[in-house]
Amino acid sequence: MAYTKQRFSYKEENPRYEFTFPVEKMNIEGDVILIDKPYRCTSFDVVGQLRRQLRHYTQLKKIKVGHAGTLDPLATGLLIICIGNYTKKIDQYQSGDKEYTGTFRVGATTPSYDLEKEIDQEYPYEHITEEMAKEAAAGFVGTFEQTPPLFSAIKIEGRRAYELAREGVELEIKSKQVEIKEFEITRFDLPDIDFRVVCSKGTYIRSLARDYGEALHSGAHLTALRRTRIGDFSVENAISILPNV
């Protein structure tokens, strides 16, 4: 099967969205805000815009604002933002288990393991059955060593790996121990396989896509991802923000 090339460009295809937040309802002394992050905006932009709007509303020059776990621009879902004294709880919040839903597309890989980069190699996938897909998923449940993507927020000598990767710098990223607690196949419609995963902090679902494709004797990349839970916080209780474009 010939795939239609899909690519996400940060410079060309990612307009700078502007959001409006209900800042009048937020406690600048200490608060936790749950945001349902939209597609194609960065976690950094969401935090930065909220900080600016809080400063404007309160007329204060300094307000502490931070998030408890980055979401890739191509992912949607739960983003925990802490304000004021609650920024001290960021490590506590982001250490909780994460739940994600999404889609793996088998039969092709990309250098970024998602849609940011064009397909670089295609593989047969007609041999994959639903039973194989579920058995492969079950094989990842537990603790194992995972190598993060080159296009990730991991710091290497003070710089983000994705910055170096986009500059063409050759990188070697060390693997780290992660845990998959649940891995459920929710839809099987080749070449797409939908899933639900519950995992530990630091798990990269894009890397899971790569490894899952290999386990199926094929290749795979991530085409959709949504974070639905972090610890006891659910996206069902999050604020939906729509871009002002």
List, by residue number, the catalytic residues: 72
Q: How many CB atoms lie within 10 A of CB 76?
A: 21
Q: How far, in Å, CA of 206 to CA of 209, rounded?
A: 5
What is the C-alpha separation between 18 and 20, in angstroms, rounded? 7
Backbone torsions φ then ψ of 162, nearest 5 degrees: -65, -30
**CA torsion through residues 180, 186, 189, 194, sign:** negative
Give the whole-angstrom CA distance, residue 7 versus residue 118. 5
Buried b (16+ CB within 10 A) or exposed e, 123-152: eebeebeeeebeebbeebbeeeebebbbbb
Give CA–CA dist 215/139, Å, rounded. Answer: 9
Peptide bond into 148 cis (omega under 30): no
* Among 226, 221, 165, CA closest to 37: 226
Q: Specify the 3-state DSSP secondary structure of 222.
A: strand
Q: Say which DSSP state 75 is in.
A: -
